[in-house]
Amino acid sequence: MPLDKYQYMSNVWRDGIFDNKVVFCTGGAGTICSAQVRAMVHLGANACIIGRNVEKTENMAKDIATARKGAKVIGIGAVDVRKPEALAEAADRCANELGSIDFVIAGAAGNFLAPMDQLSANAMKSVIDIDVLGSYNTVKATLPYLIESANKCRTDGKAPPPNGTGGRIIFVSATLHYTGTPMQTHVSVAKAGVDAMAMSVAIEQGPKGITSNVIAPGPIADTEGVARLSKSEGRDRSAKGIPSGRFGTVKEIADATIYLFSDSGNYVNGEVLVVDGGQWHTQTLGNNQWQYPDFLLSGGTVSGVAGGKKSKL
């Protein structure tokens, strides 16, 4: 059964603005990325979502397709973004079955909580490989299709794009590395790399008509990340430390996605769009649920959350 529209996008967008366009999204079965894709599908696009879990990815694709009658959404599971050949095959299948790749969302990511002295080299490498190398592989696999789309959709800003918009990529990042975040060294390093990559893509591929931007979500309610990486009893306290006074919603990330992919985002390139209610400006003020620096000095292991350090890492 289709979700209520306002759960995944605002009412300000005109239906059909992405008619006949195709979205390719890694991490597409996740809470945030699925909302991004669902909003695009609602507005006319078809989509291909990529994930590691076959059942979860295929079921999410079917669910997203309910956003618009006649929508085509492919779910390709068993794809590890760290393997370039797997992503290349997925991109080729997407383009062959749906006709093109006009928009890309690089959203696959890994995370858990651990201080640096409990963080193994393998754990560090795993997160960097998923976030940074995975984003790079996503770009490489889809770039030929994005260039083709961009060539059809160029605009001088004085008239609407002749074939709608296309040739655009969004990297899903974070704000952890702006001020530094305890127990998130691995993710902070990885997301800083993702941000740098997005800027390089903008500089190198911009002359070909491609735009490359970053969306950096803050804490988003009812997502896997918040559920795994925070204690339920501390979330109300954390929300009070956000200038907007609450956690965000997936709808607000989806709205940012529509903006960057739509005609209104034509001249936005090489930018980071932070959607966090101002949270990163206050994240050093002691709102963390593991008291700084006492917890780090204690040598304790993170407990009480699903995303704590795994002993095998």
Summarize pLDDT for 230-256 with one digit per residue, the tens. 555 556 777 888 899 999 999 999 999
Q: Establish whether 140 is a catalytic residue.
A: no
Cα dist from 214 to 74, 106, 280, 289, 302, whole Å = 24, 9, 16, 27, 30
What are the boundaries of each domain within the chain?
16-298
* pLDDT at residue 301, rounded to an integer: 74
Summarize the confidence of residues 203-221 as an average pLDDT. Answer: 96
- 8 A C-beta contact, residue 42 and residue 8: yes
Summarize the confidence of residues 263-276 as an average pLDDT. Answer: 97
Confidence of residue 260 (pLDDT cuts 50, 70, 90): very high
Domain 16-298 classified CATH 3.30.1490.20? Answer: no
Taking only Cα atoms into account, the Rg of the chain, rounded to an integer number of angstroms, comes to 19
pLDDT at 275 over 60: yes
* pLDDT at residue 225, rounded to an integer: 58
Confidence of residue 312 (pLDDT cuts 50, 70, 90): very low
Least confident of 140-144, 193-197, 223-227, 253-257: 223-227
* pLDDT at residue 283, rounded to an integer: 76
Confidence of residue 313 (pLDDT cuts 50, 70, 90): very low
Least confident of 119-133, 153-167, 224-238, 263-277: 224-238
- Provide the b/e sequence for 259-297 (b: ≥16 CB within 10 Å): bbbbeebbeebebebbbbbebbeebeeebbbbeeeebee
Cα dist from 265 to 31, 33, 47, 196, whole Å = 24, 19, 20, 20
Cα distance from N-terminal residue to C-terminal residue, the chain? 39
pLDDT at 131 over 90: yes
pLDDT at 261 over 50: yes
| pLDDT tens digit sequence for 190-202 | 999 999 999 999 9
Is this structure's pTM higher than 0.85? Answer: yes
pLDDT at 34 over 50: yes
* pLDDT at residue 282, rounded to an integer: 83
* pLDDT at residue 128, rounded to an integer: 97
Higher pLDDT, 118 or 137: 137
- Provide the b/e sequence for 106-126 (b: ≥16 CB within 10 Å): bbbbbbbbbbeebbeeebbeb
pLDDT at 137 over 90: yes
Q: Which of 21, 135, 191, 230 is catalytic?
A: 191
| pLDDT tens digit sequence for 62-96 | 999 999 999 999 999 999 999 999 999 999 999 99
Higher pLDDT, 233 or 188: 188
Q: Establish whether 208 is a catalytic residue.
A: no
* pLDDT at residue 311, rounded to an integer: 40
Confidence of residue 284 (pLDDT cuts 50, 70, 90): low
Q: Which of 135, 173, 188, 212 is catalytic?
A: 173
* pLDDT at residue 230, rounded to an integer: 52
